[in-house]
Amino acid sequence: MLNNQDFETLIYIKHDLYAEIRFNRPHRLNAVVEKFYRELLDALDLSESDSDVRVVLLTGEGRAFCVGADMKEHGTGMRTLYQRRQYLQLGNDVCEKILRLKKPVVSAVNGYALGAGAEIAVSCDFVLMDKTAQIGFPEISIGTCVGGGVTRSLPALVGMAKARQLIFTGTRIDGNEAERIGLVTEAVDGVALQQRAQSFVAELASKAPISMALAKKLLNNASNLDIDAQLQLELDAVYTCTTTADWQEGVDAFAEKRSPKFKGI
């Protein structure tokens, strides 16, 4: 393992084939502040630019994944209206960055994922969640509104009726219920969460990086396109894969009855 860069609100650890980004404001249950958003964007940029990193894992230090906005800081009322807009934009930028990252992003949700924390979690390609953890969108209950693309991503995950219920009521659900309705990929016993997350990420990291990047983009954009356009983009993606050394490695490994060793080229 290698620590690539020092952050104040995050811990960034580079493992063999993946980067682990740990939210590091445990004294505030990893509530978000402006510096947190800016550092998270930097950490995501760092992981994307590192060719050795194939997958990104997000999780939280202490008793929570992220409980949303730091209301203590909001309560100081020190921001101008323009600064408030800039802060809110950062929240959207983080979720968009996760969605558009060319590498899979996995969140391991411990404790609480609320508000902005839930928005970050569901922006990820995969969500592993402690069975006893809680996730929810309390924004309307406190006079604000959801962001980070949740009104698009949540209905796609759980259906419109359930998305309305979760957003309008702010109901918190645990990991078991989140898995049942399709909000998260897998609910895991809390003591095994980190171990399961590491094994899950390692499995993803063994796959062909270029193929994963193309598939992620296709899946994220599918709802915006008609079937003719989607079929053409898939055809282009398959052809692109055939131009890579990894495609040849996959063919050779299949013929030789061994596991492929992809290099992302």
Contact yes or no for 37/79 (Cβ under 8 A) = no
pLDDT of residue 70: 85
Model confidence band, residue 74 (pLDDT cutoffs 50, 70, 90): low
- Give the neighbor-by-neighbor strand order of the sheet with 18-23: 10-14, 18-23, 55-60, 105-109, 126-130, 186-188
Average pLDDT for 99-114? 97
- pLDDT at residue 151 in the model: 97
- Report domain extents, the chain: 10-205, 209-255
In the chain the first and final C-alpha atoms are separated, in Å, by 24
pLDDT value of residue 177: 98
Q: Which is more confidently placed, 162 or 73?
A: 162
Give per-residue pLDDT as tens, 120-154.
999 999 999 999 999 999 999 999 999 999 999 99
What residues act catalytically? 119, 139
Using CA atoms, how far apart are residues 73 and 69, in angstroms rounded to an integer? 8
pLDDT score at 159: 97
pLDDT category of residue 75 using cuts at 50, 70 and 90: low
DSSP symbols for 210-246: HHHHHHHHHHHHGGGS-HHHHHHHHHHHHHHHHTSHH
In the structure encoding, which two tokens stand for residue 249, read together?
């490695």
Residue 80: pLDDT above 90? no
Residue 78 confidence (pLDDT): 74
Kindly state the percentage of the chain with pLDDT values over 70: 96
Strands (E), 61-185: 105-109, 112-114, 126-130, 134-136, 173-174
Q: Which residue did the predictor score with more confidence, 76 or 228?
A: 228
Residue 84's pLDDT is what? 87
pLDDT averaged over every residue in the chain:
94
How confident is the model at residue 77, as a pLDDT?
Answer: 62
Q: d(Cα 120, Cα 148) in Å, to the nearest integer?
A: 7
- Residue 160 identity: M
- Look at domain 209-255 and name its CATH class: mainly alpha
Task: Decide if 64 contacts 112 (C-beta within 8 A).
Answer: yes
Residue 76 has pLDDT above 80, yes or no: no
pLDDT tens, position by position, 18-58: 999 999 999 999 999 999 999 999 999 999 999 999 999 99
Fold of 10-205: 2-enoyl-CoA Hydratase; Chain A, domain 1 (3.90.226)
The residue-averaged pLDDT of 52-81 equals 87
Residue whose token pair is 């510096």: 35
Which position has the higher pLDDT, 223 or 178? 178
Other beta carbons within 10 angstroms of residue 247's beta carbon come to 18
Domains 10-205 and 209-255 belong to one CATH topology:
no
Tell me: the pLDDT tens digits for 160-199?
999 999 999 999 999 999 999 999 999 999 999 999 999 9
Q: In angstroms, what CA-CA distances link 192 with 63, 108, 180, 198?
A: 15, 11, 19, 10
Does 79 have pLDDT greater than 90?
Answer: no
Position 172 scores a pLDDT of 98
201, pLDDT greater than 70: yes
